[in-house]
Structures are given as C-alpha cells and as structure tokens.
Amino acid sequence: MTADLVCYYYNTATGALQWEKPEELASSSSGGGNNTGWVWLPDESEGFLAARPMGGKSYQLMDGRMTTYSAPRNAAPLAALNTAVLSMLHNDLVLLDDLNEGLVLHNLRERYLKDEIILG
C-alpha cells in the first residue's frame, strides 16, 4: 500500500492553505504560480481539454499542439482552469478544488488510465 503525497503551501502570516504555488515562490521558468489564463476547451472525443488562449480563436493544448475553437451562439463562457490541480487525483470527487465538467472528466480519465478506479 502506498501513501498519497499531498502537496500544499502554508502561509505562516495568514494561516491560509493553498494547492497552488504562491506567486512569491514561482520562478519565471515554472511559468508562474497559478497558471492563470488556462481554460477547459470542449472537445468531441475527450469531453474537455486543458488549453491556453493564444488570441482570437487559437488555443494551445497542454501537449503544445495548437487548435481553434469557435463558441456556439449563447454558449456559456469557458471554465477557468488552474493547472496546479491537474496532478491532484481524488477517489472522492467532492474533494476536487472545483466541481466543473472538465476537472471531473480529467480526474476520472487519469484515474482510469492509472487503473485507480475502485468499484464497490
């Protein structure tokens, strides 16, 4: 049996706990602390993909590929994504930082690929 590694940051001044690396600790090589600007982009085969808007209808996916997306008329805005939460998989989906479709599907997909889906 292996123990799950839980990484978080504790602010000694405020007593706050957070998953994301604070801006003060982020280096320019890590791309910043909270990776703001990332969104869940709807995808026909995967459900949702993590993507960064690059201007206009262009988006860059996590693997570096570029794609385009045109939102349908009256579509809801794209859900924001903090990329720090992508590595935190949970057996209990209620523990996810944000309950949106993209993060729920990502969590289930990654757990399935790692054969970590527990039945019963």
Residues 43-83: tens digit of each pLDDT: 999 999 999 999 999 999 999 999 999 989 888 889 999 88
The label of the residue with tokens 């280096």 reads: 27
SS (H, E, C) 13-26: CCCCEECCCCHHHC
Q: Does a structural domain hold residue 66?
A: yes
- The fraction of the chain above a pLDDT of 70, given in percent, is 76
Tell me, what amino acid is at 36?
T
Is 3 inside a domain boundary? no
Provide the residue range defining the domain that includes 23: 9-113
Residue recorded with tokens 């009256």:
74
Model pTM score: 0.66
Q: Can you spell out the DSSP letters for 37-55?
A: T-EEEEETTTEEEEEEEEE
Cα–Cα distance measured from residue 94 to residue 92, given in angstroms and rounded to the nearest whole number: 5
Count the domains in the chain. 1
The answer as to whether 98 is a domain residue is yes
For residue 92, is it within any domain?
yes
Distance between CA 5 and CA 51 in Å, rounded? 26
Question: Residue 20's pLDDT band (boundaries 50, 70, 90)?
Answer: low
* Kind plus residue range of the DSSP H or E element containing 68: strand 66-68
In a domain? residue 1: no
120 part of a folded domain = no
